[in-house]
Amino acid sequence: MTLPEGYSISNSIPSVDTYLALRTKSGLTPFSREASARGLPNSLFCVQMLHDGEAIGMGRITGDNGCFFLVTDICVLPAYRNRGLAKAIMAELTKWLHANVPKTGFVTLSADGRANELYRQFGFRSTEEEIDSVGMFMVM
């Protein structure tokens, strides 16, 4: 996918400050600085969308790198939305998944709002529709 002029992708892990700012400004649930500092180094793969060198979006893959993989933190700052940037982030993440996940690996994500429309373009399906499973969670 060709990015608009001035945009680029970095596969580096975002700093804690960048991560927290992107999550908050994009409307994602905030995490504590401690949780972010502990979690980010455990990322399997990261994508940062940059505009003129500044992070304006991101996505990550976490998991055990064998059986389970979680696509998470997909976001783009509001001022940069509707330009195909989230799709470009997902394309990079999906490329990594296809190259690195073993045949029986299970890849999951949670879709907020209408984001499921984006994720379906990359082969994701609703667990309720496909495997009679309901996602559950617990927040500490």
Tens digits of residue pLDDT in 59-110: 999 999 999 999 999 999 999 999 999 999 999 999 999 999 999 999 998 8
Tokens standing for 79? 């001022």
Q: What is the pTM of this model?
A: 0.91
**How far is the C-alpha of 24 from the C-alpha of 45, rounded, in Å?**
21
**Neighbouring C-beta atoms of residue 125, cutoff 10 Å:** 11
Please say if the pLDDT value at position 133 is more than 80. Answer: no
Mean pLDDT of 38-55: 98
pLDDT at 60: 98
- Our CA dihedral for 13, 18, 19, 23, rounded to 10 degrees, sits at -150
Total H helices, total E strands in the chain: 5, 5
pLDDT at 117: 84
pLDDT at 14: 98
Mean pLDDT of 11-17: 98
**How far is the C-alpha of 133 from the C-alpha of 118, rounded, in Å?**
21
Please say if the pLDDT value at position 113 is more than 80. Answer: no
**How far is the C-alpha of 11 from the C-alpha of 56, rounded, in Å?**
14
Instruction: Give the ranges where the chain is alpha helix by DSSP (H).
Output: 16-26, 33-39, 85-100, 116-120, 127-130
pLDDT at 11: 97
**How far is the C-alpha of 98 from the C-alpha of 52, rounded, in Å?**
29
Please say if the pLDDT value at position 1 is more than 90. Answer: no
